[in-house]
Structure 1
Amino acid sequence: MLDWQVGLVNLIRTISEILTAGIAITAFSILLYAFTYNLRDRVARSFALILICVVVVFTSEAIGSIATTPDGLALWLRLEWVGLIFLPPTYLHFSDALVATTGRPSRWRRRWAVRLTYLFSLVLLVLIPTNLLVGPLVSQPSSVPHLERTIFTELFTFYYLVIMVLSWINFTRAYIRTVTPASRRRMGYLVIGALAPALGSFPFLLFGSSIVDRSPTLFWIIAMTSNVVVGLLLILMAYAVSFFGVSWSDRVVKSRLLKWLMRAPFIAIVTLALTTLVRRTGDVFGLDLNGVAPIVMVATIILIQYLITLFASTGEKWLFYGNDQQDLEMLKTLEDRLLTRTDLLEFLEMILSAVIDRLQAQGAFLAALNEEGVELVITSGKNRFNSKDVSDELTKILINNGHFAESFRWGDDLLFPLYEQNPGTDITEPRNLLGFLGVTGQEVVELDIEQKQAVKLLTDRAAMAIQDRQLQLQIFKSMEKLTGRVDYIQRLRAKGRYDSEGILSLDTLSDQQDLTTWVKSALTHYWGGPKLTENPLMELKIVQDAAERLEGNQANALRSILKDAINFVKPEGERRFTAEWILYNILEMKFLEGRKVREIALKLSMSEADLYRKQRIAIEAVAEAVVNMEREARDHMGEVVKG
């Protein structure tokens, strides 16, 4: 070949090798994503097994391409076969999980087929160190080294094709059984994307090595194109699988996956590509660019991170927000401009310092109103607002006075009432009192005009901050009430994406952690409160059945179920204060009798920290009892229906 042809082949080969490493990086990144977010789902777990095989295959191929000795190269090529021989069983496992997701559970034939393929692959694994499955290294006359094929290689190829055909039959069945247009579209993406590991991992060089000798340029162009297609299809497959096993909205799933792909494999691949090209360019032109490569690496990482940070928000709005952009931007604005308690205290501390400086006082404090009376928010300098008696005294002043002047004396302190800020409303309309700003050690009886104006400005700003914080707390309370039901709805959506029965047969007890949280909330308001009356546990069949017996009173129904669950924790015999009775005693005294934590700790002779640990265990035991009661009720209902 001519020099320019050799250079072109080397360039295409380098790009192909970079893409091979890129596929390994992408597969490993998606594997970490699956481990992090949706590994509870069977489809996601089986997909993770496929990714492990892909990582092994392409990592071995990438490292083998830079091996310097024949023995090292042969070792990496044999390791590549470890991933290759386990692709058929993982594919069959994955396809079986897909069919089960669409409402056709895995029966004994499909289950045993998966097990037998795994067993057969284990047998093949034993043959890898020998020359039975694949022969010795072939490095001549082909310019691309590979392992020689044997009769067992031919048999494996037949086995590989048969299992892949069976897997695609399952893929087709799963596609046909999907119910909604969106789920069918994603299932189509998954089926198309599933071509990537199956076709991209098989060592076609075993059967087509002669192409390299006849037309190396064509071979490497095909290899490069194949790697590009495999990488894109792998991402497409990961996109479809990312919706399995999670109850997030579609927007959240897409956003998280895109951010992960951009910040993990994309940065790694681009950095690897530029670093490799710099080094090999130096080799071609005889330049020492080894010192430049680290600079290129660092600059690439920083620059891409900067660009992602700069344009991620805009891209997310354009790609995922759709018609919900206004609502989501409002939530984003709330998140960015949220006034936390720390922010509030910092701002109020600045106001108190300004008041002390302006009035030349010894100290100042700010107290806000709540449901129980007056609560100290923050102090600065010397003040006497340091006991509950003082708080009660100020609460009495509040009760006995309907409206306050701009300032008034309270002992040696000068108090400034803080009122709601309602711009645009009638100034004659009475405003709600938010709290007081008090000044201690201010000796001047009458403030001058400048001092009054300054204090008026500062108190208005303090009132504005307190009012905004109270409004935010109301929003948080509303969101807390919505969280349980919204999560339940999202679970229904997730279950019904691919199974028409999912919207009816969702097991609300699938997440033990959520159930424990619900039980704890209900016990906290056992004798009444929103955490009891608005608890997601109200949806349970046992609660609905109990409500029918209690004339439709759902609060009493849930209370009775919790009482029964607590009794399940109760040991047999007469109540005692021994180790055996600790869990029940904690539940009884804390939630049913409403005793204080310190009192319970003294009664049970344990530290408060130990009490909290035991309380968590006790609540988990109650949650488990609720699960068992609900399952028994559902099983009984199923038997009645069948009968």
Structure 2
Amino acid sequence: MVTTSLVAACAILHLFLASADAIVAFSLLVYVATHTPRNTATISFSVVAFLVAAMWLGEAGHVSARSADTQSLREAVFWLHVQAVGLALLPAAYIHFSDMLLRSTGSLSTGRRVVVVVAYITGAAWLALMLLTDTVMAGPVLTVWGSHFQTGTLYPAYVVYSVTLTLWSLYNFFRARHRCLTTSLRRRMGYLSFTFVVPALGFIPYLLAALMLTAVPEPLLVLFPLAGSIGVVPMIVVLAYIVSYQGVFLPDRVVKQSLINYLLRGPFLGVVVTFLVIAIPRLGHVLDLFSDRFLIFAVVFIIVVLQAALDRLRPFINRLIYQDEEIVWLEELNQRLLTSADLNELLNNTLIAVCEVLRVRSGFIAVPDRRTGGYSLQAVVGPIAKARSFLEQDGIKTLAMISQQGAGEGNGNNGYPLASDGYWLFPLAGQGDEPPGVLAAEKPQQRPDLSAEEMEIVQVLVDRASIAVEDVQLQRSIVQTLKGVAPEIEQVQQWGSQLRFASPSALAQLEADPLYTPEFHRAVRDALSHYWGGPKLTGNPLLNLRVVQAALPENNNNPSQALRAVLRQSVETLRPADDRDPMANEWILYNILRMRFLQGKRVKEIVQELAMSESDFYRKERAAIREVARALATIERGYMNTQGEGGRS
């Protein structure tokens, strides 16, 4: 009785592990396909993940057939064919992935590449034999853990083939670890090798189980397929972890956080739901419960509870990932920043509250406009034409006077509004010489003054609006500074992503590809300065870019003309989509590039046309060239990813 219960428990555990293996493998296949650029590492991993998912999905399907009726056996045959895809090709995929690891460490071998090709061809032949004949896999037979395939005359040869390639792959993993020179890379390769050992060695008894269906007692026989399903999840997770870094221009912490969050919200949730689907019907049968009805509520309950729990645990998970309070604070920064839309909503709500307190129907908030030297509307309640008329006519002089008075101490404006042209005017308090704006509320003619209570409430609201406007202005200046250094930060991340393995091929790419050199921005500046011809264009290292090489046929095979076309494309990508504000910073940068380089105008002509000083022009010109370099790098990486060459190890 005890033996029977243990066998049943092992059978259920095997079904659960096979299902979990398929779920996690498929989920990580989707993750790598959507979060990493296409390169040799991601392609080889995707093949492994697909075949692992197919193998264990087929296993979970056919072991569920527990009766000898025709329908159950027909379903078992279908799932056996699904599993055959993984069984036939997975050894070749393992040898392919191990070869990719060795090549990433600088060990290049034509012989290994030939072995990979031959392995896939042989695997395809085994798959054809499994699907079309009974020489390798015969029909299903009922076992103590469900159904399992029977063996054909060629099955022993297939076992030898699979075991040989699997052990060879394991040997390549250890060779790749041995070739790593630094402690951190050896540790990563050690994780990868160790996690591959368990499923690789477990795969062998799984293959042998079909040969021992009648030769081994049932309590021992059930352990053979169970051994094959143990360790697959850790292996595929670590493989995805290693591959996620390949060709991704992001810091390690960002990649790690993205993968962990995906694992928790996707595969982990799917595995928990699978456990409920497997366990509850069997538990309901034992306890005589209505398991189907209970299963629905249990699945919904666990989905909701797990999502809420993960939200609450996210700060703790981030601290475990980063172990740096500064990074945790930066992660939460997006919730604290005020966008332009947030500021408009806050000012609108403040203005509405002021109007309600004063029992008036209209008002506005205006802030200085550096382009025109006047004021622009930031929030309006009531007729907008009236507010614009006030700013355009007499009101502008009053606002200028308020600005001057606001610069002095104890001028009497803070807390005591100035009445002008039917408005009460409240200057927003700021730390500079000039108030960051003004709040105006309609002044009814029959109300000469405000009560002390009204003034106190309004002043609190005005102070809040003042803080918000000044903080957003400061935030915008910080964002502009960050945009200026963004290309350099991105380039540093690119260099880091190329040096994860001590690979001579990776170092050779760094030396040959101008995209990964510190002189990249200088090369862009030189090419633009000689845009219409000159040695800085004809001898520019940007001519080696892949996107420039690809543009040669369209430009009469003229390298200088091809580079000129790519630079023009990079400049045009910076053209703003919104043309409502021609004096916006984005338009100024674009117009500087267009007039200075594409049209070849002189600096004096440009500063007159754009109404700026020469010092301001040169400062913005440097920022514009940085944006061109960033756009060109984006175009190059996009072309590399399209061609399957991005981030090659």
Q: How does 1:374-413 map to 2 (within 5 A)?
A: 374-382=375-383, 384=385, 387=388, 390-391=391-392, 402-404=404-406, 405=411, 406=413, 407-413=417-423
Equivalence map 1:95-494=2 (5 Å): 95-104=98-107, 108-131=110-133, 133-137=135-139, 139=141, 145-195=147-197, 198-201=200-203, 204-206=206-208, 209-210=211-212, 214-221=216-223, 223-224=225-226, 226-284=228-286, 288-317=290-319, 319-322=320-323, 324-325=324-325, 327-372=326-371, 373=373, 374-382=375-383, 384=385, 387=388, 390-391=391-392, 402-404=404-406, 405=411, 406=413, 407-420=417-430, 431-443=433-445, 444-494=447-497
Question: Which of 503, 510, 527 does residue 506 from structure 1 map onto?
Answer: 510
CA deviation vs aligned residue, 1:417-460 (integer Å, no higher than 9, x gap): 2121x5xxxxxxx6442011123344245545444434333322
Question: Shift of the alpha carbon at 1:193?
Answer: 2.3
For 1:79, the equivalent position in structure 2 comes to 82
Cα separation, partners in 2 of 1:186 and 1:231, compared to 1, 3 Å: same
Cα gap change, 1:112 to 1:253, in 2 (>3 Å): same
Q: Match of 2:94?
A: 91
In 2: Cα distance, 1:356 partner to 1:241 partner: 59
Q: Which has the higher contact order (CA 8 A, sep 6+)?
A: 2
How many angstroms apart in 2 are the aligned matches of 1:200 and 1:339? 55
Alpha-carbon distance change, 143 to 93 in structure 1, aligned in 2, over 3 angstroms: closer
Is the 2:56–2:83 Cα contact (8 Å) retained in structure 1? yes
What's the CA shift for 1:556? 12
Letter of the 2:427 partner, please give it: P
Shift in Å, 1:61: 0.7
Report the more deviating stretch, 254-263 or 66-75.
66-75
TM-superposed CA distance for 1:371, in Å, is 2.6
Q: Percent identity?
A: 26
Find the aligned partners of 1:204 and 1:454 in 2 and give their Cα distance: 77
**Matched residue SS, 1:290:** helix
SS in 1 for 2:367: strand
The aligned counterpart of 1:539 is 520
CA offsets, 1:398-432, max 9 Å, x none?
66763345143544433222121x5xxxxxxx644
The 3 A distance-change label for structure 1 pair 142 and 315 is closer
**Residue in structure 2 matched with residue 497 of structure 1 by the alignment:** 500
Aligned residues: 552
CA–CA separation in structure 2 for the residues paired with 1:389 and 1:179:
73
SS at match of 1:414: strand
Q: Deviations over 1:356-399 (max 9, x none)?
A: 23444441111112432322101112355555993587666666
2:62 aligned with 1:64: yes
Letter in structure 2 aligned against 1:472: Q
Secondary structure of the equivalent of 2:99? helix
1:47 Cα deviation from its structure 2 partner: 0.8
The CA deviation at 1:548 is 11
Q: CA deviation at 1:161?
A: 3.1
1 CA distance for matches of 2:455 and 2:279?
71
Conserved? CA contact 1:385–1:391, under 8 Å: no
Contact 2:95–2:116 (8 Å) recurs in 1: yes
What residue in structure 2 maps to residue 54 of structure 1?
52
Please, which runs of 5 or more residues in structure 1 have no aligned partner?
423-429, 516-535, 573-579, 596-618, 632-643
Taking a change above 3 Å as real, the CA distance of residues 496 and 202 of structure 1, as seen in their structure-2 partners, is same
The separation in 1 between residues aligned to 2:488 and 2:289, in whole angstroms, is: 65
Q: What TM-score, normalized to structure 2?
A: 0.73
Report the more deviating stretch, 214-223 or 536-545.
536-545
TM value normalised by structure 1: 0.74
State how far apart, in whole Å, the 1-side matches of 2:390 and 2:520 are: 46
Aligned counterparts of 1:355 and 1:557: Cα–Cα separation in 2: 64
Tell me the SS of whatever aligns to 1:128. Answer: helix
3-state SS in 2 of match to 1:136: strand
Bigger mean CA offset, 193-202 vs 56-65:
193-202
* Compared CA separation, residues 476 and 140, structure 1 to 2 (3 A): closer
Residue 217 of structure 2 aligns with an amino acid whose one-letter code is S
SS at the partner of 1:129?
helix
Q: Distance in 1 between the 2:393 and 2:489 partners? A: 41
The answer (yes or no) to whether the contact 2:404–2:434 under 8 Å persists in 1 is no
Paired residue for 2:585? none
- Going from structure 1 to structure 2, the CA distance change for 1:557 and 1:413 (only over 3 Å counts) comes to farther
Q: Any conservation in 1 of the 2:343–2:468 contact (CA below 8 Å)?
A: yes
Residue 586 of structure 2 is matched in structure 1 by none
Against the structure 1 CA distance between its residues 561 and 439, is the aligned structure 2 distance closer, same or farther, given a 3 Å change threshold? farther
AA aligned to 1:353 is: I
Structure 2 CA distance for aligned equivalents of residues 214 and 95 of structure 1: 34
The CA distance in 1 between the partners of 2:511 and 2:450, in whole Å, is 68
- Verify the 8 A CA contact 2:89 2:120 in the aligned structure 1: yes
**What is the deviation of 1:627?**
6.0
Query: Would the alpha carbon gap of residues 546 and 239 (structure 1) be closer, same or farther in structure 2, given more than 3 Å must change?
Result: closer
C-alpha displacement of 1:166: 3.7
Distance 1:36 1:626 in 2: 19
Secondary structure of the 1:438 match is strand
* Deviates most, 291-300 or 45-54: 291-300
* Residue 302 (structure 1) shift: 2.0
Counterpart secondary structure, 1:477: helix
Indicate if the aligned counterparts of 1:362 and 1:381 stay in contact, CA closer than 8 A: yes
Unaligned runs of 5+ in 2: 558-564, 576-589, 599-627, 641-649
Cα distance, 1:50 vs. partner?
A: 0.5
Q: Distance in 1 between matches of 2:508 and 2:434?
A: 48
